[in-house]
């Protein structure tokens, strides 16, 4: 009986290990994504199976859509005298003002070498969860985000994060 119990525990651990490995899928941005450039200032990748919002001609605010999922890029020009170190807190407040709850942020260095703030939260009214990479400068904030319904978000957020971390600001 003890042998069967040990075999069962080992089998469960092995299945759990393989299940965890499957969740952490690495993608090739060049193969699986399309490069998008905002003039010569900003570039990033988005998934090939998403469509650029055809109604948007303003490169400072673009959307890539597939079913209920959306990647959003926005440049927010800052003509205020806000202190750079306070911008993450102010942006968190703006998200909450826009109806987001459970907003959290942390500073991380992404592969392009820039330090971005990663914001996560939920728009309560629509049920859309989001993750955003935000690069703050004294002149502008560069926001690249992903949002989807909670069930889709949970399945896709690891892949979305890899695309969001492709944000490059050439300054």
- With a threshold of 0.75, does the pTM exceed it? yes
Domain residues for 98? 27-169
Residue 149 in domain: yes
99: left (phi over 0), alpha (psi -120 to 50) or beta: left
Judging by beta carbons within 10 Å of its beta carbon (0-12, 13-18, 19+), is residue 32 exposed, middle or buried? middle
Interval 96-121 mean pLDDT: 95
- Whichever domain contains 123, its CATH number is 3.40.1000.10
Q: How many domains does the chain divide into?
A: 1
More confident position, 167 or 171 = 167
* Lowest-pLDDT range of 8-22, 29-43, 74-88, 154-168: 8-22
In a domain, 14, yes or no: no
Q: What percent of the chain is modeled with pLDDT above 90?
A: 67
Cα 52 to Cα 103: distance, rounded to the nearest angstrom: 27
The residue-averaged pLDDT of 144-158 equals: 95
Assigned token pair, 76: 């927010």
Element (H, E) at 105: strand 100-109
Alpha-carbon span 135 to 151, nearest angstrom? 28
């Amino acid at each position: 009986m003890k042998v069967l119990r040990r075999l069962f525990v080992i089998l469960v651990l092995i299945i759990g290990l393989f299940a965890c490995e499957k969740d952490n899928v690495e993608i090739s941005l060049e193969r699986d994504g399309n490069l998008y450039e905002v003039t010569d200032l900003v570039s990033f990748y988005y998934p090939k199976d998403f469509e650029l919002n055809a109604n948007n001609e303003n490169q400072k605010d673009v959307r890539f859509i597939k079913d209920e999922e959306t990647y959003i890029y926005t440049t927010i020009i800052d003509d205020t005298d806000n202190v750079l170190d306070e911008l993450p807190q102010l942006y968190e407040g703006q998200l909450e003002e826009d109806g987001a709850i459970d907003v959290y942020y942390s500073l991380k260095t992404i592969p392009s070498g820039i330090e971005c703030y990663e914001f996560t939260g939920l728009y309560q009214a629509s049920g859309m969860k989001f993750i955003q990479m935000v690069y703050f400068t004294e002149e502008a904030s560069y926001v690249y985000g992903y949002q989807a319904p909670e069930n889709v978000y949970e399945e896709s957020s690891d892949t979305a994060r890899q695309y969001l971390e492709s944000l490059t600001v050439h300054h």
